[in-house]
């Protein structure tokens, strides 16, 4: 079974742009399904993730926030 990665972001967030690029690269390299979600689009997400964006989720569980740790993400998806 393949993992699913979600990147919680918000508009005008430079860190989010970097995280999306890194996650895209890693997920494409490993053939993992991934998506970008606007945390401000849902009041529950906004309350949960607040100013910890970007947040990387693996199979719905928080994997990390503020930045991507490439090797740690690869290990989680292996």
Residue 9, token pair as written in the block: 């972001």
| Average of per-residue pLDDT across 23-50 | 94
Question: CA 28 to CA 54: how far, in whole Å?
Answer: 19
Q: Show the CA angle centred on residue 59, arms to residues 67 and 44, nearest 5°.
A: 75
Determine the pLDDT at residue 18: 97
Kindly indicate the confidence band of residue 51, based on its pLDDT and cuts at 50, 70 and 90: confident
Architecture, CATH, for domain 4-77: 3-Layer(aba) Sandwich (3.40)
Determine the pLDDT at residue 1: 55
Determine the pLDDT at residue 78: 86
Q: What is the pTM of this model?
A: 0.91
CB 55 within 8 A of CB 62: yes
Determine the pLDDT at residue 38: 96
């Amino acid at each position: 079974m393949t993992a699913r990665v979600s990147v919680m972001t918000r508009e005008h967030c430079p860190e989010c742009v970097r995280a999306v690029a890194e996650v895209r690269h890693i997920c494409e390299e490993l053939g993992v399904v991934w998506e970008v979600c606007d945390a401000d689009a849902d009041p529950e997400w906004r309350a949960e993730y607040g100013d910890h964006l970007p947040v990387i989720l693996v199979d719905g569980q928080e994997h990390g926030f503020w930045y991507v740790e490439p090797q740690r993400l690869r290990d989680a998806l292996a």
